[in-house]
Amino acid sequence: MQNKVDILSSLTFPSILSYQDVVYDLENRIVFLVMDFAENGQLMTYREATMSYTYKDANVPVPIEGTKNCNQDIAMALQH
């Protein structure tokens, strides 16, 4: 888990919220990530049943190009 936190804390990219801190709840085995505030909330919701993303507050699937763009942004941030 620490490795993932280290990677997250090193990401800097305009379309990715900045990591601020991590809080461990050892008793309940929960990890809370403290991130910058996203004024308009998240853009997409992952639907486990269909293994796909939908736009926030809509039951409309995100086109494959939308998820590709999201993954490309993450990959570019990891290169920094």
Q: Are residues 32 and 52 in the same domain?
A: no
Summarize the confidence of residues 32-53 as an average pLDDT.
77
Residue 72: which domain range?
A: 38-79
What's the mean per-residue pLDDT of the chain?
Answer: 77
Question: What percentage of the chain has pLDDT greater than the value 70?
Answer: 90
Q: Are residues 46 and 28 in the same domain?
A: no
Q: What is the DSSP letter of 58?
A: S
Q: Are residues 50 and 64 in the same domain?
A: yes
Rg (CA), the chain: 15
pLDDT value of residue 26: 92
Q: pTM here? A: 0.46
Residue 27, C-beta contacts closer than 8 angstroms, at least 6 positions apart: none
pLDDT value of residue 63: 74
Contact indicator for 48, 59 with CB cutoff of 8 Å: no
**What count of other Cβ atoms lies within 10 Å of the Cβ of residue 62?**
19
**What count of other Cβ atoms lies within 10 Å of the Cβ of residue 35?**
13
Residue with tokens 């990959």: 75
